[in-house]
Amino acid sequence: MKKDRTKTVLIRLTEEEKNKLQEMAEENEMKVEPFVRRTIFSNDIKKLSNENDVLREEIKDLKQDIRILTNQNLADKEVLSKFTSQLLEMLEKLDKMKQEKEI
């Protein structure tokens, strides 16, 4: 049954995916079919658990990065808002000065 599933998986792959699998199998010093059976159809819970933990850590880090960027964005918006209001005040003062000179 496993060999049939392996062949089914391999048939559905594109050439690029097959080449990538071939490279990965060679890196592990294995043939493609045994490599696919071991990698794809493996039920190694400990390995999956470790990968899951790594992914959770990555998610945690990414969420932290998002929070930092959001806070920076809010701070930048506040600075821009203050700068804009100061510019508007200066323009109003310039307008008043022009009007006073005209009178």
Domain boundaries, the chain: 1-42, 44-103
pTM for the structure as a whole? 0.42
Q: Above 50 in pLDDT, residue 18?
A: yes
Q: What is the pLDDT of residues 37-87, one digit of tens each?
A: 777 776 666 666 777 888 999 999 999 999 999 999 999 999 999 999 999
Distance of alpha carbon 43 from alpha carbon 37, whole angstroms: 10
Distance of alpha carbon 64 from alpha carbon 81, whole angstroms: 26
pLDDT tier for residue 94 given thresholds of 50, 70 and 90: very high
**Alpha-carbon distance values, 42 to 35, 46, 47, 50, 62 (Å):** 10, 11, 9, 14, 29
Q: Above 90 in pLDDT, residue 5?
A: no
11's tokens: 């048939």
What number is the average pLDDT over the span 17-40? Answer: 83
